[in-house]
Structure 1
Amino acid sequence: MASFITPLILLFISAIFLFLHRRSRYRRLRLRLPPGTLGLPFAGETLQLISAYKTDNPEPFIDHRVHRYGPIFTTHVFGEPTVFSADPETNRFILLNEGKLFECSYPGSISNLLGKHSLLLMKGSLHKKMHSLTMSFANSSIIKDHLLVDIDRLIRLNLDSWSDRIFLMEEAKKITFELTVKQLMSFDPGEWTETLRKEYVLVIEGFFTLPLPLFSTTYRRAIKARTKVAEALTLIVRERRKESAKEEKKNDMLGALLASGNNFSDEEIVDFMLALLVAGYETTSTIMTLAVKFLTETPLALAQLKEEHDLIRAKKSHPEEPLEWTDYKSMAFTQCVVNETLRVANIIGGIFRRAMTDINIKGYTIPKGWRVFASFRAVHLNPDHYKDARTFNPWRWQSNSETTSPGNVYTPFGGGPRLCPGYELARVVLSVFLHRTVTRYSWFPAEEDKLVFFPTTRTQKRYPIIVKRREESRPSNQTWKGKEEESEIVD
């Protein structure tokens, strides 16, 4: 009897799959989905995507499909059918229709670790209000009047501790974390901030795992670290509430939240600040590291950058005199380096959204409930938009170059209602870091260490370099070899 039932069960299951396949095929034909393939059952093409992004060149996943299907294609990743866009007009459409046709959609691991009250997950009028508040603490006026002094001071303080051999990624992360803590809660570097940062490392590792504590040690450890971080921040929030009651106010993000009149709970404030610490910590530090890497491999750019910053130092009465806003605004070539670093190595490679209704675009239909991924990197590295797009060339951003960058082609900080509120602050931090680094030190890689653009935190290379103070560095006739060329660098 059992031998008879088994074939019936298999036949029944096969019939269901056939029905669903035909129904899906009918819907695909009726809606005219973008071309592509959903890959294997359940897994889709997730393994191909992950394997591509763990190589030195993460682009083949999109490159291959754009070549075969065009700039808009269908795939199946992270358990859901997804429409990928490498088309700048479509990306802009997705960004500008946030909250209208599309809504945020992130993997459960990220949502759980950031918290339901994080800016990333807020929607509607609350997101608009909190986004505006965040931008008000990172705009040009605030940076000029208050933050620039702290940025310059904290960067100098960290560079003072550099030994002859450092892991640049780790040093950059210390800098960005301390700057963010200062901006959010007015804390200077110390034992408390360093303890908090170490817990943050564990939290961020959990972003790249399955949100299943029973099966993932990394995710379980991340949840525990998240609890510790939340407890530490809750104590600070409660203490500051007492200070506010005594009219002892501080000009930082926490002070603004407590004084906003919205009566936020401790949990809401903690979630909000925890997510901002993640945003300020991880992305900017990676960009700082990659900027140094690209300059090391492009000696002519490094030489021109040193010349620009040596001129700024020459106008100061002593080497450690703080930078002023006019100094930052005079860094013309530095901004070319910043632009090009953001273009080539945009850490925000793209954004996931979910269609709130059936959406017609470019002759295709994105079904309601499907995820979409707007790829910024695919546009940035497209030779149709930038000549020799995959070559680091900061001169392309000079006024007499061929580069033009309409808003839908150059989007390192996203766009629309969810434009990164710290975009100006990130540019200033990178510029000041480059100024202090090139005027103090010469360096070269300690070993062959190819940085992978989008690996997990656990496997990310730390980029070890040998640093020497400029007066102790190599003789001026020493030739440094870049990746593609050789140039004589005069320190």
Structure 2
Amino acid sequence: MELEVAASVALAVLIVAYGFIFGVLKRVNEWIYVSRLGEKRASLPPGDMGWPLVGKMRSFLRAFRSDDPDSFLSTFISRFGATGIYKTYMFGSPSIIVCKPETCRRVLTDDQNFKLGYPKAVKVLTGRRSFHSISNAEHKRLRRLTAAPITGSEALSMYVPGIEENIVASLEEWSSSDQPVEFLTGMKKVTFKIITNIFFGLDQVDFNFKTMEILYGDLARGMKSAPINFPGFTFHRGVKARRELVKILQAVVDERKALKGRNGSITRKNMLDMLMEVEDEDKRKLEEEDIIDILLMYLLAGHETSAHGTMWAALYLHEHPDILQKTKVRSWFHRRI
């Protein structure tokens, strides 16, 4: 009899706990961010605001790292229908997911009703003076100043030989290996080495590539996480990684300034030298904080996107040998010219 009573009590406790967890905690974000909108709530799309603080980030990251990243959106579609627009809570903020082409096009092109913005984690980890955290006017100014040194035939003529040398050396190393090569991982290493050479001229700078790769990995993962700055959380590791990266880049900037001070001028210039010298129409140069945050941002964006772009290009060329052959012929023709 006593065992039956204890079992009944335990079952009741479990039911109450289940009801509290899924009936109360699961609706905290809904109450905080949706209920206070009043009558405007009716215009919101369907969706799931997830758990307090983390929202739907765990589901998003789990799907993002799986073999089926589309499964994250599939759960919304199966629960709420193929509306193409859903409400949720991600990256520390209430969010709207848009996944229909026509709606995406409107969001990206309608500057009057939609403003450019980034998650808190991205703004914190890329820095106060990166493109993600400044006004539109300052964004245009910095973009104009920083684009000048890296565009045009003169800049490309400086970089292409080094890029080709690194790519050829890496391909030869992989082809001679008796172990399988994970292409994306390998390309990330190659593009990171190329972009750091372009930015810093590493023949003159003592650089620990392995340390930088680890730190940038932590930084990239932190940007895709909830902004919880507490030990054990991904964002906290990203904050620590940013702090170390800023120290490394500041040391490189100081070294280049000292070298220029000793020599008066530098004949073989890299991206960092150009950013330190570029001036706007009012003869204003970039501040050191501008330069470091811009370097941090470009290094992160440049090697990640280049590695993924190269991976997909190689995959599609492998699947379409006729296009690969045309590419080889065109490459040979340009070399002959």
Give, in angstroms, the shift of residue 152 of structure 1: 1.4
RMSD of aligned Cα (Å): 3.8
Equivalent AA in structure 1 for residue 266 of structure 2: E
Equivalent residue letter for 1:126: E
Shift of the 62–158 alpha-carbon distance from structure 1 to 2, 3 Å rule, reads same
The normalised TM-score by structure 2 is 0.72
Deviation at 1:36, TM superposition (A): 0.6
Match of residue 289 from structure 2: 267
- Show CA shifts across 1:175-229 (max 9, x none): 1112211222233599625243343234334334444454316555444433332
**How do residues 93-108 of structure 1 correspond to structure 2 at under 5 angstroms?**
93-97=106-110, 101-108=114-121
Q: How does 1:363-442 map to 2 (within 5 A)?
A: none
- Corresponding residue number in structure 1 for 2:255: 239
Equivalent in the alignment of 1:122: 134
CA distance in structure 2 between the partners assigned to 1:324 and 1:74 by the alignment: 53
Shift of 1:83: 1.7
- Aligned partners of 2:163 and 2:194 also within 8 Å: yes
Q: Deviations over 1:336-363 (max 9, x none)?
A: xxxxxxxxxxxxxxxxxxxxxxxxxxxx
Is 1:215 aligned to residue 227 of structure 2? Answer: no
Q: Look up the SS of the partner of 1:81 in the other structure.
A: strand
Change (3 A) 1:26 1:295: same
CA distance, structure 2, for counterparts of residue 22 and residue 205 of structure 1: 27
Residue of structure 1 equivalent to 2:304: 282
Q: Where does residue 153 of structure 2 map in the other structure?
A: 141
The structure-2 alpha-carbon separation of the partners of 1:22 and 1:135, relative to structure 1 and needing over 3 Å to count, comes to: closer
In 1, Cα distance between equivalents of 2:185 and 2:276: 33
Of 159-168 and 121-130, the range deviating more from structure 2:
159-168
CA deviation profile, 1:460-482 (whole Å, cap 9, x unmatched): xxxxxxxxxxxxxxxxxxxxxxx
**How far apart, in 1, do the equivalents of 2:100 and 2:189 lie?**
36
For the residue of structure 1 that corresponds to 2:43, the secondary structure is coil
* Partner SS, residue 278 of structure 1: helix
User: Number of aligned pairs?
Assistant: 299
Residues 99 and 122 (structure 1 numbering): CA distance in 2 closer, same or farther, change over 3 Å?
Answer: farther
Task: Tell me the TM-score normalised to structure 1 length.
Answer: 0.52
What SS does the corresponding residue of 1:102 show, helix, strand or coil? coil
Q: 1:171 aligns with which of 186, 191, 200?
A: 186
**Pair 238,98 (structure 1): closer, same or farther in 2 beyond 3 Å:** farther
Distance 1:248 1:99, change over 3 A: farther
Deviations 1:280-335 (A, max 9, x none): 12222133234444555x3xx1x2244224435665xxxxxxx7597xxxxxxxxx
Q: Which runs of 5+ in 2 are unaligned?
A: 1-23
Secondary structure, counterpart of 2:47 in structure 1: coil
Of 86, 89, 110, the residue aligned with 1:73 is 86
C-alpha change, 1:225 and 1:47, in structure 2 (3 Å) is: closer
Secondary structure (helix, strand or coil) at the match of 2:231 reads coil
Q: Cα–Cα, structure 1 residues 144 and 40, in superposed 2: closer, same or farther, change >3 Å?
A: closer
The verdict on how the C-alpha distance between 1:105 and 1:217 changes in structure 2, with shifts beyond 3 A counting, is closer
Determine which structure has greater relative contact order: mean sequence separation of CA pairs < 8 Å that are 6+ residues apart, divided by chain length: 1
Contact 1:181 1:193 (C-alpha < 8 Å) held by counterparts: no
For the structure 1 residues 188 and 70, does the alpha-carbon distance in structure 2 shift closer, same or farther, using more than 3 Å as the test? farther
Give the structure 1 partner of residue 43 of structure 2: 33
Distance 1:116 1:324 in 2: 44
